[in-house]
Amino acid sequence: MLYAFRAWILSGNDEVLFNENVFADVALKYLLQLYRETGTPDQLTWRSGGSVQAMLTGKTSCAINDISLLRAAEAQDAQVAGKIWLQAPLLGRSGMGVTALPHITNCSVVWSFGQNQDEAKQFVADLIDNSRAGYATSLGFNFPAYPKTVPDLIVQLTKDPQADPKGKYIVLKDALHWTPNLGVPGFATPAYMEVFNSFLIPKMVQSVLKGQSTPENAAAAAAAQIRQIAEKWKQIS
């Protein structure tokens, strides 16, 4: 939602972009209005998978956990699954077009001090080469980072045996184009990942929705925390 309003977090060289203009403030005001008009206090207490359970029990009409939601519905109640539809992310105002950041990503590294670096590198290469098996076994949760490793992805989506109606999953054929790397417009740097993994942004949003802070103050406080994190990593590197 922040990116839809062009409220970037960090630049490519870890300069703090957040709250350097009005976009973060405008985004938080929109989120507050959206919550007041369509939300429920239960949302602020959900744990992992909370949005899925709320949707499956008829408490909500929209969720962003598309694949996990549908797979859960298909396993629990086929009639409910048949009533749930997929849609591409909404077009924001940032000029990026349709954009949706991943909420779960996998990253493999080979340590420079590792004793079996060649074997580790081969394992990562083999893991990538077997992306099709990973996609199939995970029922579509694990989308391939490299499209050529699953050359029949569109066929798999079109002929998904669980889809009701048939072909429902084809809307995900462009998912790799919607999904930029974490850190965009920069990279998934250690500084950005600390911001991401510390849940700094969700906590900021929650403080606004709970009435604990104004959008302006919440954005300013978050920007100050992001700046501290960015400076720490610049000193380390």
Where is mean pLDDT largest: 99-103, 215-219, 233-237?
A: 215-219
Q: Residue 230 pLDDT more than 70? A: yes
Q: Is residue 104's pLDDT more than 80?
A: no
- Six-digit token string for 208: 């606004």
Rounded Cα distance between 168 and 158, Å, is 7
- What is residue 73's predicted lDDT score, i.e. its pLDDT? 93
- Distance, CA of 60 to CA of 54 (rounded, Å): 6
Non-local CB neighbours of 146 within 8 Å, separated by 6+ positions: 128, 131
Distance of alpha carbon 200 from alpha carbon 35, whole angstroms: 19
Residues 119-152: tens digit of each pLDDT: 999 999 999 999 999 999 999 888 888 889 999 9
pLDDT at 200 over 90: yes
Q: Which residues contact 208 (CB under 8 A, 6 or more apart)?
A: 28, 31, 32, 214, 215, 218
- For residue 93, the model assigns a pLDDT of 65
- d(Cα 67, Cα 70) in Å, to the nearest integer? 5
CB-CB contact of 62 with 51 (8 Å): no
Over residues 222-235, the mean pLDDT reads 96
Mean pLDDT of the chain, nearest integer = 89
Q: What is the pLDDT of residue 95?
A: 60
Whole-structure pTM value: 0.83
Interval 5-58: pLDDT, tens: 888 999 989 999 999 989 999 999 999 999 999 988 888 888 878 888 888 888
Q: Are 52 and 66 in contact (CB under 8 A)?
A: no
Q: Provide the angle, in degrees to the nearest 10, between the axes of the packed helices 200-209 and 190-197.
A: 40
Residue type, 201: I
In this structure, of 111-115, 176-180, 193-197, 218-222, the range with the lowest mean pLDDT score is 176-180
Task: At 77, give phi and psi (nearest 5°).
Answer: -155, 100
Tell me the HSE value of 43 on the side-chain side, using a 13 A CA sphere. 19
**Digit-coded pLDDT (tens) for 57-97:** 888 888 877 888 899 999 998 898 999 999 888 776 666 66
Round to whole Å and give the CA distance between 220 and 189. 22
- 3-class DSSP state for residue 152? coil
Tell me the sheet residues that pair with 10: 16
pLDDT at 208: 97
- Is the pLDDT score of 111 beyond 70? yes
Residues 6+ apart with CB under 8 A from 95: 6
Domain boundaries, the chain: 3-236
Which residues share a beta bridge with 91? 98
